Every structure is written in structure tokens, then in C-alpha cells.
Structure 1
Amino acid sequence: MRIVFMGTPEFAVPVLDALVAAGHDVVAAYSQPPRRAGRGKSLTPSPVQARAEALGIAVRTPLSFRKEPEAIEAFVALEADVAVVAAYGLILPQAVLDAPRLGCLNVHGSLLPRWRGAAPIQRAILAGDTETGVGIMQMEAGLDTGPVRLEGRTPILGKTAGELSAELSAMGARLMVAVLDDVDAHPAVAQPEAGVTYAPKVDKAEARLDFSRSAVEVERQVRAFNPAPGAFFEFQGERVRVHSALVRHPGESRDDGVVLDDALTIACDEGAIRPLLVQRAGRGVMTAEELLRGFPIPVGTQL
């Protein structure tokens, strides 16, 4: 099949690889433009752009289809059979959605209609969902409102957003290849009208651990924001990132945010949280015990 691929982050890379491995002709890859990153703030291509270039696929990086009509014309001129979209990050106007013979198929990381929007994986973890999945959705103008051709499911358990993203990306890649192998065998089924929820983009401020919540909710914050933007608390003006944590003393209520013992157990509105792996700015990941040896946080401290 003659395919245009559209994606930006690491989540999308396995999908691109699967299309190439399946023998499809990926005639172009679209990705968001390179961003400034790192200490030198040099322009860095997205993971999809880097992978596409390594595969010898032509890459296009328009800032906006709506503001660049010539980008729409160039897309239409590709005469693709289908566009495969995975976490691209730009709105596709109707002219783009209609251009490929089979339209645009999106790999979406949730069980639609739950968690339509930009951050379905993080929102599912934060909400305490027990299950999530990925769907191959036929795109239309609305926000993730299109019918679904194929869906896969997985339990969330204690997975971080990074772990879940990798799992759903691999699953989505397999499902997309299956749909493209026989589109007619996977008809588009309209989403249920009930159960619609939205997954807004994660704000970095949400990553500050909120000890006025229950320990269960705080532990979800840790997993939802791992690896990015990284859950954290502050002590003496320094940010301490928490990579993993355990819920302790379930059901007990104490003063929110107080350090309870020399293992860095922190009281929450209900129960307590014990960070396991942490990281100071400019340092590597370490255990809480290692942190406290060089950066003491006394029992009774209010965080």
C-alpha cells in the first residue's frame, strides 16, 4: 500500500517500523518541526523524523496545515492509499482527511470513547482505571470521535506511563498492520455515545506531588508522570524527582506532607507514600536511602 505516515514522539516509531517491515511503500513521513533541546538548545529532530531519515523516507515538517495551504497541496499530490497517524500533534483539516483513498487511520492509546485527547495514557493512570488499550480509529473532523476498526486491551496494574506507552505502541503497530492487510475485514464501528471522557494535555504543574490527596492518588501521580514531566516534591528550594513509590499505612490520616520516619515515608490525606527511587537536579537516579545520606530530610519536616 502507498502510505503517508504522520507522527512525532517515540510512541509513533514502532508503528512506522511495522509499516516498513510489512512491505508497505511509505512515500513520506510528516512530523512536527525540530525543537530546541538539551543544554546547548540546539535544534533536535523528533524521534519520528530521525527514524524516517534513517530509513531513507522523505520527511516533511509543516508548522500548520491550516496556515500553510501549500502543505495541503503537497500532501494531496502524494496520492496515498492511506495516511497512518500516531501522536502527530497537528490538527488535520478536512482536505487532508479526505485526500487518501482510504482516508486517515489513527493509532489512539485508549479504549474510545474514554480518554479522547492528547494525554490518554497519563489520564487513565491518574483516574485509577484498571484497564486501557489502543484503537485503530478512522479519523474525522471531531476530536477522536471517529469510528474504530480494531481494538486491543491490557490491564494497567502498576505500570508507569512510559511502560504503558511502550506496550500500547507495540500493540497499535500490530493492529494497524492487521487492518491494512484487509481493511474490508475490519469495518469501522461507531463509538458508543455514553462514557465519553477527555484527556487534556499534561501541564508540568500537575507533576508536583499533592500530599493533600490520598497516598493511592499520589502514587498514581508518580506513575502517570514517569518518565515525563517527572513527579516531584521540593525541599530547601531544591526539586526532588520521584521515579517510583510505595503506598504505606492505607486508611490512616495524618498531617499532609509530613515526613514520618527516616525512610522518607511522607504522610498523605489518607495513608502515606514512601519514595523508592528519586533524583536530585543534575544527579543520577538513586534510592531514597542514598538520597538521605547526602541530603538529609529530618523526620517531622513539612514538605
Structure 2
Amino acid sequence: MSLRLAFMGTPDFAAASLAEIVGAGHEVVRVYSQPPRKKGRGMSEQKSPVHALAEQFGLEVHTPASLRDPDVLGDFAALELDVACVVAYGQILPQAALDAPEMGCLNLHGSLLPRWRGAAPIQRAIMAGDAMTGVQIMQMEAGLDTGAILLSEIVPITAQDTAATLHDRMMGIGAQLWPRALAALERGSLEAVAQSEEGVSYAHKITSEEARMDWSRPGGDLVNHVRGLSPFPGAWFMMDSDKGPVRVKLLMAEAVAGEGSPGTVLDDRMTIACGSGALRPVRLQREGKGAMDLETFLRGNNIPKGSQL
């Protein structure tokens, strides 16, 4: 027996889950994704990774601008689904959508709830210096990531992890939860565990200003800040150049010994004083340029000892 379901998702993180669900033999009657966006130099419309993959599988794809549209909701209810599977869809599901499938809507979330409810759980976990995170399938309800937990897998965070490496690892581990969760749902053996209201934290969307390096913070904290924002949106700082101030992204850095006024360059290896200790860039990207290692960056940029960043 297979479940009759809809899949809702948009980025690569979600596409991996769609592939696992299709591979498990379930009847995916429709896929929902965000509408195509204009991207690139030519500003041509590009379908989301989920949209493109669904078409490869021969699945019907809908890209409504809003699920709150009464006609869209009515059409969704008419599918008579057993369940809907949601992964990084990009829209908040109204109550009518949550109630439409017989077994409700399930969501894959990238943290160990109730820690890091919200939009940027992978980045926030690294930025906070967490030693572990996880992927969980939860029962969706009206609250923001407040539903009961159905299945979990712990994912360690290494000192070398960036948002990109952790994202990719969690994408694969999370996708593999779906066949297990849906098989248990078919058997009626999927146990729901209510979330604790202790230890709740929110993974708010990261703003450009928040990504800016605050040199008054400890060096070790700033290394986590860099890792959690690499490669996108990228931790950044301003530096002087022969063409005036330019923005530089820090894509990788290491904490080192050093002491001085925060933001001051301490030596010819671009060691930068922090609130306590110091930080040395490992990989950087000057505005308008490609990413490069520190040695290459220093060959093309004059940053003498004593410079203030």
C-alpha cells in the first residue's frame, strides 16, 4: 500500500526529500513549489530545484503565489490526500490547508526542536557554537514549528562545519527520514511527542547588518559567526582601498592569539584583534571578485599593520 500525498518544497534541501519519497513508491499526486524567479545576468525565469526535479519525475507541479487564495485551497482539498509532506516550501500554510489531508501535514525541520524554531536553524546553530543539531519530522500546526515531533536524527556539528557543509549533510539525513516516517504512518505506529516549552529559541532570518563583523566580540565567537554565514549571506567587514571603502566577505577564519584594539590589524598576516583574542582570515572575497585564500588576497590588497577594519 502507498500513501496518496502532495509534496510542498522549493530549494535543493527539499528536492532531496522529494526524491526519497518518490523512490519509496508513494503516490505523489501533486507537487507545490514557489513560482519561478528571475535570476542571472539575463534575468530569465528559473524553476526551483523541486519544480525541476518534479518535472523530471513526470509529476504535476503547481506554483501558486499564495496558498490563502480560496480557489487554491479548494483545489488542494479536492485532492483528497492522505498526507502532505512539507520541506522548506517558503509559504505559511493556512489552517484550511493543514486540515485538508486526512492525516494532516508533516514538515521536515533542520534543528532539534524547540531549539531554533524558524527560518534559519542551520546558520543559527553554528553561529551559537552548538555542538549538535538534528533533523526532525513534525506534525504541522498553526504555531511556528510548535507541532509534535514524529521522528528525529541527531547531527553533530564539527569545528570545520560551515552552513554549506552542515546544510548538505542534514539534507541527506533528513531526506532519508521520510520513507521511515511514511511507512510508520501507514502502519499507524508513528508516535507523536509534544515539544517542551523549555529551551525555546528562534532562528530569525539573518539580516545584512547582523552579518557584519563586530570586532568587539571574542575571536572564537566571531569564527562561529563566519562559519554560520558561509558562503551565504557571508560575514562581512569594510576596508579601505585605493578606490575607497570596499566590502569584504569572510568565508573562513581561525581564532588565534593576539591582543589590541578591536578591529586593528596586528601583523602582516592580517591577524585582527577582537574583544578578546584575535582572528585570522583563511578565505575571503572582496566585493566584485572571486573567493580566494589569504595569501592570494594579501598579494592584491595592501593591508598594513595598524590598519583599522
One-letter code of the match for 1:19? I
Q: Distance in 1 between matches of 2:93 and 2:16?
A: 22
Aligned partners of 2:216 and 2:263 also within 8 Å: yes
Matched, 1:89 2:95: no
Match of 1:6 in 2: 8
Matched, 1:185 2:193: no
Verify: 1:239 aligned to 2:239, yes or no: no
**Are residue 122 (structure 1) and residue 126 (structure 2) matched?**
no
Cross-structure match for 1:217: 221
Matched with 1:268 is: 274
Deviation at 1:138, TM superposition (A): 0.5
CA deviations 1:61-101 (Å, max 9, x no partner) are 112222x1111111112222111001111111111111112
Q: What is the RMSD computed on CA atoms of the aligned residues?
A: 1.3
Which residue type is aligned with residue 248 of structure 1? V
Residues 132-141 or 238-247, more deviating: 238-247
Residue 285 of structure 2 is matched in structure 1 by 279
Q: What is the Cα deviation at residue 172 of structure 1?
A: 1.2
The count of corresponding residues between Structure 1 and Structure 2 is 300
- Unaligned residue ranges in structure 1 (runs of 5+): none
Matched, 1:15 2:17: yes
The Cα of 1:169 is off from its aligned counterpart by 1.5
The farther-off stretch of 71-80 and 42-51 is: 42-51
The alignment's TM-score, normalised by the length of structure 1, stands at 0.95
Q: C-alpha separation between the residues in 2 aligned to 1:299 and 1:36?
A: 44
Letter of the structure 2 residue corresponding to residue 233 of structure 1:
F
- Superposed CA deviations along residues 185-228 of structure 1, whole A, max 9, x for unmatched, are 22111011211111111112222111111111111111111121
Instruction: State the one-letter code of the partner of 2:46.
Output: T
- Any residues of structure 2 matched to 1:6-45 within 5 Å, and which? 6-45=8-47
Q: Find the counterpart in structure 1 of residue 230 from structure 2.
A: 226
**2:15–2:49 Cα contact (<8 Å) kept:** yes
- Cα deviation for residue 282 of structure 1 reads 3.2
Which of 185, 202, 205 aligns to 2:209? It is 205
1:104 aligns with 2:112: no
Structure 1 residue 300: Cα displacement: 0.8
1:253 CA displacement? 4.3
Q: Deviations over 1:235-269 (max 9, x none)?
A: 122122221111111xx542111111111111111
CA shift for structure 1 position 30 = 0.9
The match for 1:292 is 298
Q: TM-score, normalised by structure 2?
A: 0.93
Residue of structure 2 equivalent to 1:79: 80
Deviation at 1:109, TM superposition (A): 0.4
- Is 1:169 aligned with 2:177? no
Unaligned runs of 5+ in 2: none
Q: Does 1:144 align with 2:145?
A: yes
Q: Is the 8 A contact 2:162 2:230 kept in 1?
A: yes
Q: Which ranges of 4 or more aligned residues in structure 1 deviate by more than 3 Å?
A: none
2:260–2:266: 8 Å Cα contact kept in structure 1? no
CA contact (8 A) 2:229 2:235 kept: yes
**Partners of 1:293 and 1:264 in 2: CA distance:** 12
The sequence identity of aligned pairs, in percent, is 53
